[in-house]
Structure formats: C-alpha cells, structure tokens
Structure 1
Amino acid sequence: MEDDKKNENPKQQINVELTDEIAEGIYSNLAMIAHSHSEFVVDFIRLMPGIPKAKVKARIIMTPDHAKRLLGALKDNIEKYEQAFGKIESGHEPPQFPVNFGGTLGEA
C-alpha cells in the first residue's frame, strides 16, 4: 500500500513558453518596489544619461510569498555568481538623480 501512495503524487512537470519578444529581455538599471498587505509591485526602470525623465519598462506584481521566494533565489544566485567571478562591488550610497553614467555630456 505504501507503493500506491508514491504513485499518487508524481512530480508535476511545467512547460514554460518563452516567446522571441520576451527572450530578448528588457534592460533596467533601477527598480522601485512598493507593497500592500496582499502584493508586492516591482517596477523596472531604465534611466538614460542626460534625460531627466525615466520610463517604467516592466511592472511585476507578486504575492508576498513569491516575493520572499524571489529574494531567496536572488541571494542564492548572487552567492553562486560571486563564487565563480568574484565579489560584486556595489556603491554604498543610493543613486543620485540625474544619474551620471561617466564620460562627457554630449551637445546638439
């Protein structure tokens, strides 16, 4: 009878579709996060040098449980990245607006 229980719940396989458009990805160099009691909202934003207006390029809405799972997955992946490529040096100050990307400013 124990063998019957093992066969009742086989691991479910999920097929994930990735369209060509989504596979290209969206570049973001800023994320803003907000939350309510039932959801987390993450806006991925692209800041461009010399342009004071930034656009939200993607918005992801998730449950608090999924947000916490994402946090764990990011932590795990950052640890693996740093083991393979070395420590990621991050700035200790929040970004200043407008963001200076280095180099000289262009003129038209």
Structure 2
Amino acid sequence: MKNENNEMQIELTPEIAEGIYSNLAIISHSSSEFVVDFVRLMPGVPKAPVKSRIILTPEHAKRLMFAIEENILKYEKQFGPIRMNDNNNNMPPFMAPGGEA
C-alpha cells in the first residue's frame, strides 16, 4: 500500500512483531522458487519443528542475499566481527538437502 508521497507503508501486527526464534534454516529450491524453512533445535528434543516457511522467487532470494550481506557488513562495522564457532560438531545452521523443493 502506498501513500500520497509514493512511500510504501508496511503493517506489522503485534503477533508478527514478536518474531519467531530459529537456530537452523533449511534451504531448498526448484526452477521457480526458493523455500526457506526456519527450524528451532532444542537440546535433548528428538523432533525439531519448522516454525516458519518463506517461499521466494529466485530474484527475491538473490535480493535477500545481498540485503543480508549488506546488513552484516554494517553490523560488523558497528559492533566488530561476528565470530563463528567452527569447532561445533552439531548440525550446521543452514542446510540445503538435495537442493530441490
């Protein structure tokens, strides 16, 4: 929805504003879409529920990649480098099983 100044107004409901915590993203794709499943892994719990699924066109997936990269650079400029725990033998936080949706 755009106002008279041609600015987009985005509505954020209280429920959505709370956010969803995720510590694993599973990314798959087809020729026409990328599917990102956000999962919450909990220690000692055998099942990890998908908390949210986002479906994007390839173009929007690439735009998201660039936007995240830009924001990580801004974050690190302000707060310092983000440390990665490469010694973690657990499942990686981002996976692409088979690459097909």
- Shared fold (TM-score, shorter chain, > 0.5): yes
Residues 41/96 of structure 1: CA separation in 2 closer, same or farther (3 Å cut): same
Shift of 1:70: 0.3
| 1:89 aligned onto 2:78 | no
Count residues with an aligned counterpart. Answer: 88
Higher helix share: 1
Q: TM-score, normalised by structure 1?
A: 0.75
**RCO comparison, higher one (Cα < 8 Å, 6+):** 2
Q: Which runs of 5+ in 2 are unaligned?
A: 92-101
What pairs with 1:1-108 in structure 2 (closer than 5 Å)? 12-92=6-86, 96-97=90-91
Say what the alpha-carbon RMSD is for the aligned residues: 1.8
Q: TM-score, normalised by structure 2?
A: 0.80
Shift of 1:89: 1.0
Identity within the alignment, %: 60
